[in-house]
């Protein structure tokens, strides 16, 4: 099992990351400032570090620089602000392996983490099939009873969640945090709206509403 250190001072983002990573089988620790993040990151106990740039005390770049200066090889994925392109370039030059700009979707971060983790590069399935429907992760195309349909980016992200968990009830909160990220209002009805869009392409009967709980992709 891979151990991931999350260095992030913003509590809701740290817990969003921790929850998501744990749900995907990782062990996690969180540090909420640069100094303690650095102390943990250099311990050699982690397989990967998710490192925020804006931290109290040492910032993310300083932590990264110190780690690399000591020769620590641990892969580092930086979290940077969307409008800080220069920061990002500096981060990569400073020895970051990858970066994700805030706000990000959990799936986006997870994909980067998986790529950067050594030993976790097992070839991934590229077509997820559930009953007579399939989702091609490379072309992002949905095929239902032999007919192709294109999906928007959000529809695809939502479809991917369902196809990765066929037959399971997924709650609105789960779908919202995985597809829309932490910046979304939990009272929003956006999940229901997009489930509606997806039903039009998949066939209404394939996504069942489970009253008071959420939605389920049926294996038909
Ligand atoms: Ca921060």
- Going from the Cα of 25 to the center of ligand 1, the distance in angstroms, rounded, reads 25
- Going from the Cα of 182 to the center of ligand 1, the distance in angstroms, rounded, reads 14
Task: Give the chain's domains with CATH numbers.
Answer: 3-120 (3.40.50.2300), 127-217 (1.10.10.10)
CA 124 to chain centroid, in Å, comes to 16
- Going from the Cα of 98 to the center of ligand 1, the distance in angstroms, rounded, reads 17
What digits encode the pLDDT tens for the residues 91-148? 677 778 888 888 898 988 998 899 888 644 445 568 899 999 999 988 889 999 999 9
What digits encode the pLDDT tens for the residues 140-167? 899 999 999 999 989 999 999 999 889 9
- Mean pLDDT for 7-22 is 95
**DSSP H or E segment with residue 195:** helix 190-202
What digits encode the pLDDT tens for the residues 36-62? 999 999 998 999 999 999 999 999 999
pLDDT score recorded for residue 21: 95
**Measured distance CA(35)–CA(32) in Å, rounded:** 9
Q: What is the pTM of this model?
A: 0.57
* Sheet of 214-217, strands arranged across: 169-170, 214-217, 207-210
């Amino acid at each position: 099992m891979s151990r991931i250190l999350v260095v992030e001072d913003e509590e809701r983002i740290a817990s969003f990351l921790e929850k998501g990573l744990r749900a995907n089988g990782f062990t996690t620790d969180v540090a909420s400032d640069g100094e303690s993040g650095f102390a943990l990151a250099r311990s050699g106990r982690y397989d990967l570090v998710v490192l925020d740039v804006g931290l109290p005390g040492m910032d993310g770049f300083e932590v990264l620089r110190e780690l690399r200066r000591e020769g620590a090889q641990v892969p580092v994925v930086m979290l940077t602000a969307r409008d800080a392109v220069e920061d990002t370039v500096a981060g990569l030059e400073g020895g970051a392996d990858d970066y994700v700009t805030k706000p990000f979707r959990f799936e986006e971060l997870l994909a980067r983490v998986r790529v950067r983790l050594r030993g976790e590069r097992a070839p991934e399935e590229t077509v997820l099939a559930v009953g007579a429907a399939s989702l091609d992760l490379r072309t992002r195309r949905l095929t239902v009873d032999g007919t192709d349909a294109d999906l928007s980016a959000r529809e695809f992200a939502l479809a991917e969640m369902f196809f990765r968990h066929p037959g399971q009830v997924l709650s609105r909160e789960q779908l919202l945090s995985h597809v829309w990220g932490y910046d979304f209002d939990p009272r929003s009805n956006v999940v229901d709206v997009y489930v509606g869009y997806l039903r039009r392409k998949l066939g209404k009967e394939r996504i069942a509403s489970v009253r008071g709980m959420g939605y389920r992709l049926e294996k038909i």
